[in-house]
Amino acid sequence: MVKMSLEPVQVMSGQVAELKVAPSSNGDSAGSWEGKREFDKDHLGLTAKPKPPKPENAVTVAVSSRVLFRTEREQKVFEQQGVEEYLRYQIEHENEPFAPGPAFPFVKALEAVNARLRELYPQSEELFDIVLVTYNHAHVGIRLINTINHHNLFIERFCMTGGSSPIGYLKAWQTNLYLSADANKVREALTEGIAAATMFMPEKMTEVSESQLRVAFDGDAVLFSDESERIFKAHGLDKFFEHEKENEDRLLDHGPLKGFLEALGKLQKKFYAKGQRLDCPIRTYLVTARSAASSGIRALKTLRAWGLEIDEALFLAGAPKGPMLEKIRPHIYFDDQMFHIEGAAEMGTIAAHVPYGIAQKHNSKHNTSAGK
């Protein structure tokens, strides 16, 4: 009996010639299938499609359909005409792909990193795994699949909840990061210990690298706890500096995005092990309003004690972050204050709000913070 592989294959180009299997000496055709020279998938124009990694081995990034793609028109139909008309509209337009949304460049960069990792470690499952999470009914899945194929994305895992909360599924996927347009669901995820952020679509989008993933983080209430931010909010800048000086040898507690930076660092080290530190396709940034001399040392000591490297650290001493982010051109920037999110967006940076910590009581369009 001929043994057929269950591995999925994808036709890349050209026509597939007729495959003739010559029998072996005992009349069984298996022998010719096993000979590499007689069955060359490259000659047939076929290539094996990579399998998604197991969740326990992967760095899992869950993205909602509303941040991966532009769905404003469909959302308006839902809000103005109701769910039944929304479903009918989606089915009628299921062959029309959605345009890329704010998370699209980030996801493409994750896939570029995966391609490099597979070249260096063909058998490893330590990869990014993207899971599409949506409140949509399963009927909408056809349009989403068509869109994913149209944009040549490799997303095999879907979670379509039909209006139910996805948080339980995120925990089952062992999610390392959840990106959504729904601030309430992001807060729910953070409460459950899942790194999460709300994404926004800037009016203009700065062009970003297609070969290097760049991720920028704020410090307090993002990588670190909001302990120092609380001192600043309650007692002012001078007391904040005094507190940081007195406690510079005491580590800051971890914030909601510390685990994601840790996951990025783990993948970076796989490139370092192959002598590719200077050509690593992952680069991380700390962009903080802290002052270097007055309050920066505690942040750096904390990262070092955690065993985490940050490629570039920018201590801005209260200066606007937008111009610096415009130079960095990150695929995503995480901050806990909407003031900084809006400033980044004005410069074309895709920013994600982490609704965590004391600053949420003070967030407004005109709020500033020199302490963080």
E strand or H helix at 141: helix 141-150
According to DSSP, the residues that pair with 10 across neighbouring strands are 47
Concerning whether 129 is annotated as a catalytic residue, the answer is no
What lies within 8 Å, CB to CB, of 321 at 6+ separation is 287, 289, 333, 335, 340, 343, 344
Closest by Cα among 47, 44, 268 to 154:
47
According to DSSP, the residues that pair with 16 across neighbouring strands are none
Whole-number Å distance between alpha carbons of 84 and 77: 10
Whole-number Å distance between alpha carbons of 291 and 319: 10
Whole-number Å distance between alpha carbons of 242 and 237: 9
134: phi then psi, degrees, rounded to nearest 5: -145, 145
Catalytic residue among 28, 129, 182, 218: 218
Whole-number Å distance between alpha carbons of 98 and 94: 9
Q: How many CB atoms lie within 10 A of CB 220?
A: 29
- Contact, 94 vs 142, CB < 8 A? yes
71: phi then psi, degrees, rounded to nearest 5: -130, 25
Catalytic residue numbers?
218
